[in-house]
Amino acid sequence: MKIFTLSCLMAAASLQAVFAQVLIAPETDMNSTVIPDTNTTTTESTTSDTSYSLADTSATSTPTILNSVQVLVDNNLEVGGANFPFIYLPEQRIALRGAASCSKLGELLYSAQSRSLPSVQKMLTQVAPNVTEFWIDTGASDSLYLTSCDTLVMKDGKATVKTGGSCLRLLPSLCSNVNVSGKVTVQTSLGRVTGARDAMGFRFQGIRYAQAPVGSLRFAAPVPVTTKWSSAVDATTPGNKCPQLGDLPGGKEDCLFLNVFTPILNAEDKNLLPVMFYLHGGSFTTGTGSDPAFNPANMASRGQVVVVTINYRLGLLGFLERVDAGISRSTLPGNQGVRDMLVALKWVQDNIASFGGDKSKVTVFGESAGGHAVRTLLSMPVAAKGLFRAAIAQSDPIDLPFNNVKTASTVVSGGAMTLLNCIDLACMRSKTVDELLAVQNTIVSQSIAHAPEESFLELIKPSVDGILIHNNFDQLIAGKDGGFVKVPMMIGTMKNEADGFLPSLGQSTPMPPTVMGATLATILGYQRAMVTIGYGLYPIDGSNPDGTREAEGLFASDYLWVCPTQFIAKAYAATNTPVYQYQFQRGYNPNRPSGDICATHVCHGDDVALVFASPSLMNNASTYPWTAADAALSRTVMDRWTAFATTGGNPNPAGDSNPAWPQYDGKTQSIYMFDTTNTVSTGGIRPQFCGFMDQAIHYDFQL
């Protein structure tokens, strides 16, 4: 008996040694996920096109290669609601190798206790519906994973634990997800990029997508990064934001970076996830893709999508042109910020598969000026061809048209050059960033006097340049000048979009009724303001101490956002291109002071938290109380955004108990109303008021 036992032990040891050799043999799939080996580190330098690096610092680890890795979380968007996160390794392996693969991530095989089974089965049904068995370890497996191993069995959508099975079968593995401070490296078309891992998935920040637009490249079209690098670059922290003033001034010209948030790495082609490409707002003069307010970790996790956020050039640095002064577009192209967006979208086409994304399933979305940027991309059927398949425009101030040559070249760029005493591009390139920002601020401050019909909110913005953009969006939808990018679109507004902008007109507190006429004249010009007052559709409630601002807010919301959005939706639907319209009747922004009119209204920007459920917000309860009702509305919103991206144009998630969202058409005019109880409205929004604007005073883009 002793001889038999000794023989068995020797055989087991020999078998274990063979398995160990298999485990440490490198896998050669160049699309593999790269997991740094924490036992061996070396300092590596970063190379790139020029003297600047492709990220802020260099990665410092020697990697070991694994195959596909997917982080799964039953994420209900509530505080502390990331339930039972685990990692799915779809590669089929014997149990010992599955355990070793988990170990490379600093994890163990998942214990799959009974309390976690509902969450586990929910996620596996979603991402691996055809897989029936997975390696786990409830503690009943033998320590060497040789003779008796645990598995989780899926049957008819239900998960059960099976113990005592053979360890030599080839099955996918489930790992724990508790060691969330590790790094991961992926192979892109240009070289390796190292990012970070957390409970929600993987994040890669500060990835350079174009050369630094400095020196001779200031005001030039972006130059994509094309030179390969040999050492992994560190993408664990955001890159520089673009120069700006505003609430958070600062930034550097070397700012063309993007960020990728993904729940999966090194996926097989059939498992690649939809991509959501976000464009930040900020009137084309402020903002950054790394703003914590729209950290997309929860969106990527819950929606099982890959989210990309980007920086693009802002202000004069992003929209300088002087065709009126004889400086050709071959020398000074204009729309530099728009060109940045196009290069970033092309980067996605070339590289997103390395981050688990499907380049054929890209949805562009953005809020405020980001929504305007989405409109801009839709207006470029040649330049944007094949770069995205669906679009979401949130709170785009659609009344504001693209700039014409007068505004873009003469008022904005010409005005700035005059203030700087510059007559050529060389002079403009010699100025400091601070000098450019100072004159930009002066030009914007004077904009109401120079071009009131175009500049109430965005003086600096994309222009009709005859190269990328050939006409305003309504004309392109009507079939003129090459048309538009015909993809499904989701578009909508907040109930009280304009109220938050009244302080920019000096109206931070209740105002006397006499101010109303001046406000209308500022937005419309004198003649159309008199017509509007004459129709009496926006009376001031004398019993309300804040009646003037209430009436002004209603008018400005209708004119700049609500009614032109409906006008465009109707025109879009008439081309037989799917369009879905919405309005938020409830938002999220708990930090409004009591005197702020938006403390009791649903204002511009109050949708951002509901779309993203940013962890930065949810982890700061003292400043941002996030209730179960907030989480419920956020789930409704986020699920529709990600369903739209996943399907390429249908915002109705499977198995959802909320009302179905019908496609908009000019007859029924169905609009989804996001609220504590979600509803579908028919017959359009505020038809009397929007009918007046459609027919009596028209919109700025029609003038």
Q: Tell me what pLDDT residue 455 has.
A: 56
Residues of the chain with CATH 3.40.50.1820: 183-401, 498-702
- Give, rounded to a whole angstrom, the gap between the first and last alpha carbons of the chain: 98
Residues of the chain with CATH 3.10.100.10: 18-176
183-401 domain in CATH 3.40.50.1820? yes
d(CA 569, CA 56): 43
Residues annotated as catalytic are 368
Residue with tokens 């992003």: 318
d(CA 456, CA 464): 18
Beta pairing, strands 63-66 & 33-36 = antiparallel
18-176 domain in CATH 3.10.100.10? yes
CA neighbor of 400 nearest in space, from 505, 497, 313, 517: 497
d(CA 493, CA 296): 21
Q: Tell me what pLDDT residue 504 has.
A: 79
Q: Tell me what pLDDT residue 450 has.
A: 56
498-702 domain in CATH 3.20.140.10? no
DSSP H helices, 291-368, are 297-303, 315-319, 336-351
Q: Tell me what pLDDT residue 446 has.
A: 81
List average pLDDT for each run of 10 residues in the chain, which is 703 residues long: 37 38 31 34 32 34 61 91 86 96 92 88 94 96 95 95 96 93 88 92 97 98 94 95 94 98 94 98 97 96 97 98 94 97 98 97 98 98 98 97 92 95 97 98 78 67 97 98 98 97 86 93 91 96 94 96 98 98 96 87 97 88 90 97 98 95 97 98 97 96 92
Backbone phi and psi for residue 309, each to the nearest 5 degrees, phi listed first: -120, 150
Label residues 616-635 b or e (16+ Cβ within 10 Å = b). ebbeeeeebebeeebbebbb
Q: Tell me what pLDDT residue 15 has.
A: 38
Q: What token pair was written down for 460?
A: 């600096």
What is the full DSSP assignment across 543-602? TSTTHHHHHHHHHHHIIIIIHHHHHHHHHHHTTT--EEEEEESS---TT--TTSGGGGS-
CA neighbor of 415 nearest in space, from 376, 453, 455: 455
Q: Tell me what pLDDT residue 63 has.
A: 37
